[in-house]
Amino acid sequence: MSIPIARCVTDPATPADRLRDVTRTIDKAAARANRKAHEVTLIAVSKTQDAAAIRPLLDAGHRVFGENRVQEATAKWAELRADYDGVELHLVGQLQSNKAAQAVALFDAIHSVDRLSLVAALGKVAAQSGKHPACFIQVDLAGEPQKGGCPVPDLAELLVAARDAGLTVRGLMSVPPNGLEPAPWFALLAKIANDHGIPQLSMGMSSDYPIAVTLGATHVRVGTALFGPRI
């Protein structure tokens, strides 16, 4: 039996190399779509990566990171924020209402606002704490409730509730279905955002961020392409 070559050699790229490559890829995709690269924020999704794995990106000057678990992020980023100024943290994973206070304390942006009960919990915490994270409404475009996300027919009502609750709604977020061409889903999210006058779009992951940028992403959420495979 032969072993694939790729497994025999270690990947010589450092995290800083990968950051440069991803940034270049974003720049090129933006240029193709006649957009400015600075309109796109690269969120380095560091879920499951320990502090030691994250430090090289911080040392290379990157400051915008994403996590998907409140608990995991709290411990890691207390340590890292003590050592690096200007860190901006985005929550990209599903959020339980009973963790709203912890999430608002830790995160500068929440990409998974998707239901009335969560809107109510976040609104209450924001009012009490005076802290207003940027909110993205997660949209379930393909009828996949297990991923979270607000069904498209319920979006208008959720947006009204979010604004009434005092939340700062900046954008829409979505994760397209696995195994399908992502472009139509990105275009659909962009259209829905435009219809509602919502300026920002959180879309695109390691496998599809260039196409997301050409279709209007303002935030791409990239993990594997920066850190390597999650263990």
Ligand X SMILES: *Cc1c(COP(=O)(O)O)cnc(C)c1O
Binding residues for ligand X, per CB under 6 A? 45, 47, 68, 92-93, 175, 205-207, 221-225
Tokens for 19, please give them. 């950051």
Tokens for 61, please give them. 């000057």
CA distances from 2 to 5, 7, 10 (A): 9, 11, 17
Could you give the CA distance from residue 149 to residue 151 in angstroms, rounded to a whole number? 6
93 or 171: whose CB is closer to ligand X? 93
* Angle at 39 (CA atoms; ends 41, 138), nearest 5 degrees: 55
168 or 178: whose CB is closer to ligand X? 178
**Under a CB-based contact definition with an 8 Å cutoff, are residues 134 and 109 in contact?**
yes
30 or 209: whose CB is closer to ligand X? 209
198 or 203: whose CB is closer to ligand X? 203
Q: Minimal CB distance to ligand X: which residue?
A: 223
Residue 224 CB, nearest approach to ligand X (Å): 3
Residue 114 CB, nearest approach to ligand X (Å): 12
Residue 34 CB, nearest approach to ligand X (Å): 25
Query: Which are the contacts of 224, defined by CB distance < 8 A and separation ≥ 6?
Result: 206, 230
Residue 178 CB, nearest approach to ligand X (Å): 11
